[in-house]
Amino acid sequence: DTAVSQTPKYLVTQMGNDKSIKCEQNLGHDTMYWYKQDSKKFLKIMFSYNNKELIINETVPNRFSPKSPDKAHLNLHINSLELGDSAVYFCASSHRGGTETQYFGPGTRLLVL
Amino acid sequence: GESVGLHLPTLSVQEGDNSIINCAYSNSASDYFIWYKQESGKGPQFIIDIRSNMDKRQGQRVTVLLNKTVKHLSLQIAATQPGDSAVYFCAENIAGNQFYFGTGTSLTVIP
């Protein structure tokens, strides 16, 4: 069974569209994250949720809105997509956050045309 | 954000040789570090970690060295194998807050 799963794996869309990426973890972890990895492989945290509560919100455009319906799920909705949003988005989870090891999903490759 | 950099963006080694991947960090308050391995098309995977009260930690074929004086971290991989080809990231953490990742080093193992 996949520990952290993301859908879709690939997402190609037009500029201006709205899209969502879903993430689920079956590890029983309390904390989930969204990271963005650019074309140079730089990995930067976007959001972190602990038990459905937002605890980290880095400087991310408000077009990005995370939503955690329960502690096993953390979805990312992106409004008015821009070319610069093209990247790989990784979901991750950890037992309790802090220095706990983070387990990453396989990534969603977003390409905005 | 914090600056976590790598000295070399790419590294090529012969199969069987040892690999050393370096990482410089900027915040002397960082007290916990992790090395991640990211294979092509996959998410980062935990390899080994080290706390600031240690200067060396060994795992299976991997060793992490921490030099707090010069704020430098290295990952040594013994007897490098083709399966070790990947991008390696160091990440630093300060007082249990979020991790800051470096830009990554791409390791290529030549058979």
pLDDT digits (tens, 9 = 90+) for B6-30: 444 899 999 999 999 999 988 889 9
What are the C-alpha distances in Å from A75 to residues A5, A24, A25, A100? 11, 8, 11, 21
- Interval A43-92: pLDDT, tens: 999 999 988 888 877 778 999 999 999 989 999 999 999 999 999 999 99
Identify the pLDDT of residue B5: 54
| For residues B50-62, average pLDDT | 95
Half-sphere exposure of A31 (CA within 13 A, CB side): 17
Q: Give A85→chain B minimum CA distance, Å.
A: 18
Contact B101 A107 (CB under 8 A): no
Q: Which residues of B touch A (CB under 8 A)?
A: 1, 32, 34, 38, 41-46, 49, 87, 89, 93, 96-101, 103-104, 106
Mean pLDDT across chain B:
89
Q: Which residue of A has its CA nearest to B34?
A: A101
Q: Looking up tokens 């950099």, which residue turns up?
A: B5
Contact B41 A48 (CB under 8 A): no
> What's the rounded Cα separation, in Å, for the pair B106 and B83?
13
Identify the pLDDT of residue B2: 37
> What's the rounded Cα separation, in Å, for the pair B23 and B104?
9
Quote the Cα angle for B25-B29-B33, to 5°. Answer: 55
- Interval A11-54: pLDDT, tens: 999 999 999 999 999 999 999 999 999 888 889 999 999 888 88
Residue B99: list chain A partners with CB under 8 A: 45, 102
For residue B5, which of B103, B97, B105 has the smallest C-alpha distance?
B103
> How do A87-94 and A64-70 pair as beta strands?
unpaired
Q: What residue type is assigned to position B1 of the chain?
A: G
